[in-house]
């Protein structure tokens, strides 16, 4: 999937989703296009790298949760 971005120098382009994560970490982009509009780095809530869970997996086979 390609995502529209605006780089620090003002130029725009498209990058892959994995490249976008890298560019956000390196602070090389100021905004990227979501389905609901532009997300601005530092202003809008964005996903961060997810940390693994420490507890038991609740999706184990045979376990019914209510």
Reading the chain (66 residues) residue by residue, the pLDDT tens digits are 899 999 999 999 999 988 999 999 999 999 999 999 999 998 887 765 555 556 665 555 555 555
Question: Residue 40: helix, strand or coil by DSSP?
Answer: strand
Residue 45: the pLDDT is: 78
Cβ-contact 17, 1 below 8 angstroms: yes
Q: What is the pTM of this model?
A: 0.66
Question: Residue 55 and residue 52: Cα distance in Å, rounded?
Answer: 9
Question: Residue 3: helix, strand or coil by DSSP?
Answer: strand
């Amino acid at each position: 999937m390609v995502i529209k971005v605006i780089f620090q120098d003002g130029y725009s382009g498209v990058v892959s989703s994995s490249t976008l994560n890298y560019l956000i970490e390196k602070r090389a982009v100021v905004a990227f296009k979501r389905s609901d509009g532009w997300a601005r780095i530092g202003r809008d809530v964005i996903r961060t790298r997810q940390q693994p869970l420490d507890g038991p997996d609740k999706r184990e086979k045979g376990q019914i949760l209510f």
